[in-house]
């Protein structure tokens, strides 16, 4: 993983000192909350319903065990003993005292972490495929390019006050596990006919109040033009993006209203003036950053196949976990392991201080000192020898992290919702917990198969409900919580925005409604191999509406 140089460390230390002074002035009453707000937001500090919240950046989702241990320390010393991993591959602490935030940031700086630009109208944390560097379907590791983008965008003087927040995601694999088409800029690392590396460039995706799928504006951008082309996109957006209405300020609105072809023309015109400047990436610089992400030396462990076979015979639960939470690695003797943070009845994405420390120890012992955070709110050990999988599983059982539900209906994405967030209209966590308990049977979950259920507590869509196979949106109606259901969304390489299926359901009805949707799918699927999303795309909304609303659906 990338390691700070002297410049990086000095920069972060100076930022901690600067913000510490700003906090002191706020606590002394020298500046008002209104004056303090833009300062704290640029340092990842929100004011939630009950307390301040600190959002910490985990660039492209990569963590070292010493960093995860520091997060555990912060959870224990400054919070309530847990943290919440988010869909942006960040971690949030929901209960820090404002007076403690400078100390937290200083602790983070000691392990090469920070909270800079995790909020505000700037370029947010750059995300990537959580299996980067390990995936069997990968053309190249996207993380070096995500790191280049991180360095370029950090406190960029031209792009620190954009019309609205800005999000970039990068993938280098055939399967899109980074949801690049619902980002402001999505980059798909690929090779052209001459075997040269470059990017397909997507612009104008996003969720929230107006969900849109990004448009591909360039099929192949040479890798050395990454910064010049992104600068051209940001300049067009900064110049023409709306600042009079925050609901229409995202780049997706500009692309939509301008038209993708015209927007691309404007970007290309701007790029013509930039592509032969100092923004062109020198080959040596690309390879220098790439060297930080060299894969670990994976020695041959051919005994893994027999070890896994015998372990399967010994333990049915191990076999079930292996089938759900372990995926193929580019090296045949290794695997990538998903650690589910979606235990039955638990709050999605939450992890305790002791669990963080235990995962850090696992990564040191079995995972080449590397942990990943996924945008689906789980953790990953990307490089585990197959011969060690049973030992890893047994350790996860001990720490209550061996839930075998990756990709199943209880692997729910959910935002903090009205339990924490000042913007939310409805609770998310209790709904996720109740649905999880309803579908607790692993046998039933596996009968249902792959099904991505995502919950947001408001229209801002932090729970990615728009791209859930089943999405749930919490809204407020006449002072009460109500939940809309969307079907048919997807955030992969075949991205789609879910369709609102009909009227909403009350808190006491929503779990039954989800069960009705699932049972309808089981009834109408062509065979057991047809996944929920494929069945929905084949038959459409009609049978689901009929099952949910009966005569209401017919009348409509």
Note the residue count of the chain. Answer: 556
Question: What local confidence, expressed as pLDDT, does residue 551 receive?
Answer: 73
- CA atoms of 199 and 196, how far apart (whole Å): 10
Question: What local confidence, expressed as pLDDT, does residue 552 receive?
Answer: 76
Other CB atoms within 10 Å distance of the CB of residue 287:
10
Planar angle of CA 325, 331, 332, nearest 5 degrees: 75
Residues 197 and 49 in one domain: no
Its domain, for residue 427, covers 413-554
- CA atoms of 116 and 57, how far apart (whole Å): 7
Domain assignment present for residue 408? The answer is: no
pLDDT, one tens digit per residue, over 136-162 is: 999 999 999 999 999 999 999 999 999
**In the sheet that 82-85 helps form, which strands lie side by side, from edge to edge?**
45-47, 52-56, 91-93, 82-85, 350-352
Phi, psi of 462 (to 5 degrees): -65, -20
Q: How confident is the model at residue 554 (pLDDT cuts 50, 70, 90)?
A: low
Residues 287 and 308 in one domain: no
Other CB atoms within 10 Å distance of the CB of residue 231:
21
Q: How confident is the model at residue 528 (pLDDT cuts 50, 70, 90)?
A: very high
CA atoms within 13 A on the CB side of 549: 16
Domain assignment present for residue 139? The answer is: yes
pLDDT, one tens digit per residue, over 234-256 is: 999 999 999 999 999 999 999 99
- CA atoms of 462 and 58, how far apart (whole Å): 17
Q: Where would I find the H helices in 247-282?
A: 251-258, 260-272
Residues 274 and 373 in one domain: no
Residues 436 and 389 in one domain: no
The three-state secondary structure class of 510 is helix
Domain assignment present for residue 118? The answer is: no
What is the token pair recorded at 470? 């089943």
Phi, psi of 476 (to 5 degrees): -115, 130
Question: What local confidence, expressed as pLDDT, does residue 539 receive?
Answer: 98
Q: Mean of the pLDDT values across residues 388-415?
A: 98
Residues 480 and 381 in one domain: no
Phi, psi of 327 (to 5 degrees): -125, 160
Name the E strands within 195-314: 197-203, 215-222
Q: Read off the CATH number of the domain in which 351 is found.
A: 3.90.480.20
Residues 353 and 233 in one domain: no
pLDDT, one tens digit per residue, over 173-230 is: 999 999 999 999 999 999 999 999 999 999 999 999 999 999 999 999 999 999 999 9
Domain assignment present for residue 80? The answer is: yes
Domain assignment present for residue 479? The answer is: yes
Domain assignment present for residue 546? The answer is: yes
Q: Read off the CATH number of the domain in which 514 is found.
A: 3.30.413.10
Residues 286 and 378 in one domain: no
The three-state secondary structure class of 163 is coil
């Amino acid at each position: 993983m990338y390691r700070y140089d002297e410049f990086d460390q000095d920069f972060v230390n100076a930022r901690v000192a600067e913000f510490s002074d700003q906090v002191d002035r706020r606590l002394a009453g020298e500046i008002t909350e209104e004056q303090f707000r833009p300062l704290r937001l640029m340092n990842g500090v929100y004011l939630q319903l009950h307390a301040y919240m600190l959002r910490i950046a985990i660039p492209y989702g990569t963590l070292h065990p010493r960093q995860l241990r520091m997060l555990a320390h912060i959870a224990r010393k400054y919070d309530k003993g847990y943290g919440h991993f988010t869909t942006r591959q960040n971690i949030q602490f929901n209960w820090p005292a404002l007076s403690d935030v400078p100390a937290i940031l200083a602790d983070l700086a000691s392990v090469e972490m920070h909270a800079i630009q995790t909020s505000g109208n700037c370029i947010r944390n750059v995300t990537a495929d959580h299996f980067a560097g390990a995936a069997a379907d990968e053309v190249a590791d996207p993380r070096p390019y995500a790191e280049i983008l991180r360095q370029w965008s950090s406190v960029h003087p031209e792009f620190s006050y954009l019309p609205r927040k800005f999000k970039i995601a990068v993938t280098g694999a055939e399967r899109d596990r980074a949801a690049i088409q619902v980002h402001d800029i999505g980059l798909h690392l690929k090779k052209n006919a001459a075997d040269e590396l470059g990017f397909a460039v997507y612009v104008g995706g996003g969720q929230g109040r107006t969900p849109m799928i990004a448009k591909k504006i360039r099929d192949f951008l040479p890798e050395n033009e990454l910064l010049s082309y992104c600068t051209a996109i940001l300049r067009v957006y900064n110049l023409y993006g709306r600042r009079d209405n925050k609901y229409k300020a995202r780049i997706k609105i500009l692309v939509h209203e301008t038209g993708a072809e015209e927007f691309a023309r404007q970007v290309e015109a701007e790029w013509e003036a930039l592509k032969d400047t100092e923004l062109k990436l020198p080959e040596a610089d690309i390879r220098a950053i790439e060297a930080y992400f060299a894969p670990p030396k994976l020695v041959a462990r051919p005994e893994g196949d027999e070890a896994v076979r015998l372990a399967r015979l010994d333990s049915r639960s191990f076999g079930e976990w292996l089938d759900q939470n372990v995926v193929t690695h580019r090296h045949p003797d290794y695997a990538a392991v998903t650690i589910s943070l979606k235990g039955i009845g638990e709050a999605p994405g939450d992890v305790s201080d002791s669990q963080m420390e235990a995962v850090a120890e696992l990564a040191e012992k079995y995972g080449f000192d590397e942990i990943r955070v996924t945008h689906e709110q789980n953790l990953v050990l990307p490089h585990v020898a197959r011969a060690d999988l049973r030992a890893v599983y047994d350790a996860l059982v001990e720490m209550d992290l061996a839930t075998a539900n990756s990709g199943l209906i209880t692997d729910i994405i959910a935002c903090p919702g009205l339990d924490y967030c000042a913007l939310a209209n409805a609770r998310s966590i209790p709904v996720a917990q109740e649905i999880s308990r309803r579908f607790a049977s692993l046998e039933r979950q596996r009968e249902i198969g792959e099904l991505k259920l995502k919950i947001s507590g408001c229209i801002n869509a932090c729970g990615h409900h728009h791209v859930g196979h089943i999405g749930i949106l919490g809204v407020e109606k006449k002072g009460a919580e109500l939940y809309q259901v969307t079907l048919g969304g997807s955030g992969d390489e075949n991205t789609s925005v879910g369709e609102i299926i009909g009227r909403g359901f009350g808190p006491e009805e929503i779990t039954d409604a989800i069960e009705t949707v699932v049972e309808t799918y089981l009834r109408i699927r062509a065979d057991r191999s047809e996944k929920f999303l494929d069945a929905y795309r084949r038959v459409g909304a009609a049978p689901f509406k009929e099952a949910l609303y009966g005569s209401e659906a017919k009348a409509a």
